[in-house]
Amino acid sequence: MKSAANILSTLTSDNFKSVARALTIVENDLAGADELLKSLHFDKDVPIIGITGPPGAGKSTLVNTIIDQLVNAGKKVAVLAIDPTSPFNFGSLLGDRIRMSAHFNNPDVFIRSLATRGSLGGLSAKTIEMSDVLRGAGFDYVFVETVGVGQSEIEIAGLADVTLVVLVPESGDEVQNIKSGLMEIADAFVINKADRDGAEFFINNLKKLAGEKHEEVVVFKTIASQNAGIAEVVVFITSTKRHPNTRREFLLTEKAYNLIRQKRMAHVDKRKLQQDIAELAKNKQFNLYSFVDGY
């Protein structure tokens, strides 16, 4: 296996093979992973764009159309598509890669799926590490598409420089239930499938909710399947100034917290945990809290 130094010497956005190898080493904690991460160099400011929203909101279609415009402008783009992890085989369902198949052979677009590995918000510490590998490779933009929307999805705030929350006109109940979390993580809302009935009413309600929190909300209307409204979103992504230092400190703190938690939990094998519980739980005196305390 090549050393971290050898991989880093060829780690560029033009060398997909080297990028894929580096990501595999980091994702699976193979030999040299720590050395590789500690040796990464960031020669340019590469923004990470977080895309989140409920299933069926059209996130992948939206990302596809945004990528089209960025690539046509001469940019190189990387995408980490966060797939749901199957509770049965701990694997990745790879649905996002199928939906993004139009870009598989594009030399300016690198796509990688990553299983959530049980992280409640759809993100794991591996997302942070793999995003940094892509930043170190020198892509112009790194997109992280996450699964679902929920209070725990605020984890994306510890990763993305710009976060887009994708909703559809029927998302009213979701916004009512988790409006605080949504308002905290969103730099902009994208109301996709905006040709559906109730779109304007939903947008007005969204702005009203933001007004209750004394926050100004940026809202875009798109029909991603028809490439409508995408240009405005791209302008926002490419022209939005990086967050001030206080925000940067918050982002780095969140990243560090996630990475520390990952390392502290590294010895816990979930499969073995399940096997141990299955055996011990046969005893009627089994106490979960005593078990956890001594694990």
The answer, as to whether pTM is greater than 0.85, is no
Indicate if the pLDDT at residue 119 is higher than 80.
Answer: no
φ/ψ region of 198 (left if φ > 0, alpha if ψ in -120 to 50, else beta) reads left
Highest mean pLDDT among 51-60, 70-79, 169-178: 70-79
Question: What is the mean pLDDT of the segment spanning 141-158?
Answer: 67
Cβ(262)–Cβ(268) below 8 Å = no
Per-residue confidence at 241, pLDDT binned at 50, 70, 90?
A: low
Q: Give the integer Cα–Cα distance in Å for 60 and 151.
A: 21
Provide the CATH topology of domain 42-264: Rossmann fold (3.40.50)
- Choose from 3-7, 239-243, 267-271, 273-277 the range with maximum mean pLDDT: 273-277
Is 139 within 8 Å of 110 (Cβ atoms)? yes
At 259 the pLDDT is 81
Determine the Cα–Cα distance for residues 117 and 125; give it in Å rounded to an integer.
10
Give the residue from 144, 118, 110, 119 showing the smallest Cα distance to 21.
110
Give, rounded to a whole angstrom, the gap between the first and last alpha carbons of the chain. Answer: 34
**Length of the chain in residues, anyone?**
295
Cα separations in angstroms, 108 against 10, 73, 75, 87, 161? 17, 11, 7, 34, 21
Residue 239: phi, psi to the nearest 5? Answer: -110, -10
Q: Which two tokens stand for residue 107?
A: 């030399």
Q: What angle do CA 249, 254, 259 make, to 5 degrees?
A: 125
pLDDT at position 145, please? 86
Domain ranges of the chain: 1-41, 42-264, 269-295
